[in-house]
Amino acid sequence: MLRRYFFIFTACALIAASSGCGVIDYFFVPTPEETALELFQAGQEEMAQEDWADAVEYFTKLRDRFPFSPYTVQAELLLANSHFNDGKYAEALQAYKEFESLHPSDPRIPYVLFQIGMANYKSMGSIDKPQHQAAEAVEFFRRLIQSYPDSEFAPKAKDHLLLARRRLAEHELFVADFYWRAERFGSAWERYSFVVEQYKDIADVAAYAEKRSQLAFLERQQRSAEQARAEKHGSWKDWFNWL
């Protein structure tokens, strides 16, 4: 048995010697990993071809494998951009917010704030749904305008701030109109009045809400008066109870 093992070992050694270092390298030398620069360049190439998923893969590898590379900070931002361009707004929001948290003094923060606002803006739900994304878009557009008024992104933020606020106002009108149709005039009046107070700068919305709030108030007063008379004197329907 020992002679058999010795023969096998000797044969393997001869094969290895005859083929140089190739066999040893194949089994024992690890495959060289891509460098940070190679991953960065590969991600950029995929972005140029609009292959966002592959770009995300390269930039994620770079971020995870080389956290202290000089290319990593830029890769983190390009990772967020790749998610955004691919329409993956939830993933883009997380990546942009992580970038802001990790690099608060980076000169590209105004751009990051704008992109957070835009990712929220593009993922806003229909008017009958809660408008959490619109509210957060308003928050980040305002932060950009207030903190970086001279930024090249401030004018764009002002335009989209108005659009996001209009969506919030229209949602409030949707709810108020629902209360009106349900003849819940007190709730409708409160909602219309809220729109008038909070969205004076959106002229058409404020004008509609003002008119409807007045009507809702009158209906509310009339219903209250009728209820008071009924409680004091009884409803006119009571006169027909004997029939």
Does pLDDT of 233 surpass 60?
A: no
pLDDT at site 228: 58
225-231: average pLDDT: 61
> Do residues 86 and 53 touch, judged by C-beta distance below 8 A?
yes
Q: How many whole angstroms separate alpha carbon 204 and alpha carbon 206?
A: 5
Residue 68: both structure tokens together? 């202290």
- The per-residue pLDDT for range 124-152, each reduced to its tens digit, is 989 999 999 999 999 999 999 999 999 99
Instruction: Give me the percent of the chain exceeding a pLDDT of 90.
Output: 75
**Confidence band of 222 (pLDDT split at 50, 70, 90):** confident
Does pLDDT of 239 surpass 80?
A: no
Does pLDDT of 190 surpass 60?
A: yes
> Do residues 176 and 199 touch, judged by C-beta distance below 8 A?
no
pLDDT at site 237: 53
**Confidence band of 164 (pLDDT split at 50, 70, 90):** very high
pLDDT at site 82: 98
What angle do helix axes 36-48 and 52-65 make, rounded to 10 degrees? 160
pLDDT at site 225: 61
Does pLDDT of 232 surpass 80?
A: no
Mean pLDDT estimate for the chain: 86
Residue 37: both structure tokens together? 């620069």
Phi-psi region of 151 (alpha: psi -120 to 50; beta: other; left: phi over 0): beta
Q: Which of 152, 53, 136 is nearest to 97 (CA)?
A: 136
For residues 26 and 155, which has the higher predicted lDDT (pLDDT)?
Answer: 155
Highest mean pLDDT among 13-22, 24-33, 111-120: 111-120
pLDDT at site 152: 97
Q: Report the predicted TM-score, pTM, of the whole model to 2 decimal places.
A: 0.79
- The per-residue pLDDT for range 68-108, each reduced to its tens digit, is 999 999 999 999 999 999 999 999 999 999 999 999 999 99
- The per-residue pLDDT for range 121-131, each reduced to its tens digit, is 999 989 999 99
Interacting residues of 226 by C-beta distance below 8 A, sequence separation 6+: none
Radius of gyration of the chain measured on its C-alpha atoms: 33
Instruction: Give me the percent of the chain exceeding a pLDDT of 70.
Output: 78
Does pLDDT of 114 surpass 50?
A: yes
